[in-house]
Structure 1
Amino acid sequence: MKDYICLATFTYPHEYFVLKLKFDEAGIRYYFQNETLVGLLPLSSFAFGGIRLMVHPLNISKAKQIIDSLNDKSSHLRIV
Structure 2
Amino acid sequence: MKDYICLATFTYPYEYFVLRLKFEDAGIRHYFQNETLIGLIPLSSVAFGGIRLMVHPSYISKAKEIIDSLNDKSSHLRIV
TM-score (norm: length of structure 2): 0.99
Q: Report the Cα offset of residue 73 of structure 1.
A: 1.0
Partner of 2:66 in structure 1?
A: 66
Partner of 1:55 in structure 2?
A: 55
Partner of 2:23 in structure 1?
A: 23
- The secondary structure found in structure 2 opposite 1:61 is helix
- The secondary structure found in structure 2 opposite 1:48 is coil
Equivalent-residue separation in structure 2 for 1:8 and 1:47 (angstroms): 17
CA-atom RMSD in angstroms? 0.3
Equivalent-residue separation in structure 1 for 2:67 and 2:5 (angstroms): 15
> Structure 2: 5+ residue runs without aligned partners?
none
Moved over 2 A (4+): none
Equivalent-residue separation in structure 1 for 2:36 and 2:74 (angstroms): 32
Percent pairwise identity: 86
- The secondary structure found in structure 1 opposite 2:31 is strand
- The secondary structure found in structure 2 opposite 1:17 is helix
Figure out how many residues of one structure are paired with residues of the other and give that number: 80
TM-score (norm: length of structure 1): 0.99
- The secondary structure found in structure 2 opposite 1:9 is strand
